[in-house]
Amino acid sequence: MQHAHVLTGYKKYISLTRPHTLTAGFVPVLVGTAAVLPFGDINFLMFFLMLIATILIQSATNMFNEYYDFKRGLDSEDSVGIAGAIVRNGITPRRVLSFAISFYIIAALIGLYIAYETSWWLILIGSISMLVGFLYTGGPYPISWTPFGEIFSGVFMGPVIILITFYIHLHELHIFPLLLSIPIMITIGLLNMFNNIRDRVKDAQSGRRTFVILVGKEKATQVVNFLLILCYVFVIIMSVTDLFASLFLLLPLLSFKLYKKTMQLLKDGDSPVELIPAMAMMGKFNTIYGLLLSIGVLLYGLVIH
User: 73 φ, ψ to 5°?
Assistant: 75, 25
Task: Give 272-282 pLDDT, tens digit per residue.
Answer: 999 999 999 99
Half-sphere exposure of 159 (CA within 13 A, CB side): 12
Task: Give 209-268 pLDDT, tens digit per residue.
Answer: 999 999 999 999 999 999 999 999 999 999 988 777 789 999 999 999 999 999 999 999
Question: How far apart (Å, rounded) are the C-alpha atoms in residues 24 and 153?
Answer: 9
Give me the number of domains the chain comprises: 1
Question: How far apart (Å, rounded) are the C-alpha atoms in residues 253 and 228?
Answer: 11
Task: Give 173-220 pLDDT, tens digit per residue.
Answer: 999 999 999 999 999 999 999 999 999 998 898 889 999 999 999 999
CB 264 within 8 A of CB 221: no
Say what the pLDDT of residue 2 is. Answer: 44
Question: How far apart (Å, rounded) are the C-alpha atoms in residues 292 and 279?
Answer: 20
Mean pLDDT for the chain overall: 89
83-91: average pLDDT: 63
CB 178 within 8 A of CB 284: no
Structural domain of 217: 2-304
Instruction: Tell me the three state secondary structure of residue 5.
Output: coil
| DSSP 8-state code for residue 207 | T
Say what the pLDDT of residue 285 is. Answer: 97
Q: What is the CATH number of the domain that holds 58?
A: 1.10.600
Report the 10 Å Cβ neighbour count for 282.
29
